Structure 1
């Protein structure tokens, strides 16, 4: 998985971020331990979660 940057996360809609989060989670689960792919997926999840936390919740 390609690393999701803070800028890229900020430019996506909340729905898109939830889809990207699922993709990152799946990539993390399937990547070999201690691999660059696993690290990128983990960092992407953190970035996406941080961006989602800054947004006001929709009702």
Structure 2
């Protein structure tokens, strides 16, 4: 999986971020342990979750 940077996450809509988070989770789950793909997926999840955390909640 391509790494989703914090800058890229900030430029996406909340709906897109939720979709990307799901993709990153799935990529993490199937990637071999210790692989670059797994590290990228994990860091992407962190970046996406950090961006979602600073956004105001939608009602």
TM-score with structure 2 setting the length: 0.99
- RMSD over aligned Cα, in angstroms? 0.3
Q: Which residue of 1 aligns with 2:43?
A: 43
For structure 2, the residue ranges without an aligned partner over 5 or more in a row are: none
Count of residues in correspondence between the two structures: 59
Partner of 1:34: 34
Q: Provide TM-score, normalisation by structure 1.
A: 0.99
Give 3-state SS (helix, strand or coil) of 2:37's partner: helix
